[in-house]
Amino acid sequence: MLLLLCTSAQAHKASTSYLHLSVDGGKLDARWDIALRDLDYAIGLDASGDGELDWGEVRRAQARIGAYALSRLAIRSDGRPCTLRLNQLQIVEHGDGNYAVLNLAGACPHTPIALAVRYDLLFDIDALHRGLLKLDFHDAKSSDAHDAADESRAGLFSPQQRELRFIRTQGDALDVFTEYFRAGLAHVWSGLDHMLFLAGLFLPAVLRRQGRRWDSPWIPAPRLGIALRDTALMATAFTIAHAITLTLAATGAFTLPSRPVECAVAATVLFAGLNNLWPMVYRELFWLAGAFGLIHGAAIAGALIELGLPPGGRVWALLAFNLGVEAAQLGVLLVVIPPSFLCRRSPWYRRLVLIPGALLVTLAGLAWLIERGLGIDLGVPLP
């Protein structure tokens, strides 16, 4: 009886758009194919309400289509925004229906070394939507825009991956070094698992555990220089080990399955936090940092490969990336350790910083281990 009362039902088919982006020096050209049914679903193109879209309805909505699409696409060249505008709107037929073809043109401030493409089309109303990207880098000296691309890349946008970043392999050596150095900084500062692992190591840096029991006393570090030296040694040991496996994996020396590696990374975070609550390793922690750095290096290799390694300058790029990692870790150290040293003798440091921080690191590591190992969603944001 309830079904008989239903007049009509509307469903939106999962969709894909196709973005072909061409970069020639600082000049941008793009063709973006978006299904008309998707645009109608998003901004309402069917003015007559007859369920059919004709060219007149699409043409009259050209300004709205362009504004909607361009508001959901952003391109940055070496961190600086590029401009895009709609030149022409056409309609073509694909195997699954008619598509609007947006011919776009624009410019970047200069010839890009690193290009970031941010894509947000339809994700707010269709979690199954996907965007396929083909990116061509052309030689800026070429006079023919239709010449074969010097470099071609591809990518897939999804609600979980809304930004793709590409680094040209034909750029100036200093520019490439700068971009990979920045990527190393971002790897640490934006990686929640990495930051929590460092927190597990740095939290007790201004205190020394005396014994292996959970209630063993903490002794304050006698001098700031000692605390800085010990944490710097841990950070450097981590970076060296991180660089070893990262370099081997990124250059194809070995390949590890992603799920066990990600589970191992979660286990390192769990151990780092738990070690502050129930000491298992409380002396010469740089050995522990080095061992765990091997695991984290293997985990980040896949992402670095996607970023792209210059065929003729892999050693230079990997060196820049790892120097960025080390610089970011030392930056965290310099921000965290001096104020912690000033508060080290206060019982409130242990009660409000050390123990709660260790619990947070432990619980996050445990949650990630369960989610990654068993495929159970506990609602904990994954880095």
Domain ranges (residues) in the chain = 15-171, 175-374
Q: Quick one: the chain helix, strand, coil %, rounded to 5?
A: 50, 20, 30
CA atoms within 13 A on the CB side of 107: 4
Name 167's bridge partners. 114
Alpha carbons 39 and 62: distance in angstroms, whole number = 11
Contact (CB, 8 A) for 156 and 297: no
CB 293 within 8 A of CB 241: yes
**Band of pLDDT at residue 181, cut at 50, 70 and 90:** confident
Confidence band, pLDDT 50/70/90 cuts, at residue 10: very low
The fraction of the chain above a pLDDT of 90, given in percent, is 19
Least confident range of 100-109, 172-181, 236-245, 261-270: 172-181
From 163, 157, 158, select the one nearest 19 (Cα to Cα): 157
Model confidence at 6, pLDDT cuts 50, 70, 90, reads very low
Which residues partner with 114 through β-bridges? 167
Residue 24 has pLDDT above 60, yes or no: yes
Q: Does residue 208 carry a pLDDT above 80?
A: no
CA–CA dist 180, 187 (Å, integer):
10
Residue 252, Ramachandran bin (φ over 0: left; ψ between -120 and 50: alpha; else beta): left
Handedness of CA 52, 55, 60, 66 (dihedral sign): positive
pLDDT reading at 302 higher than 70:
no
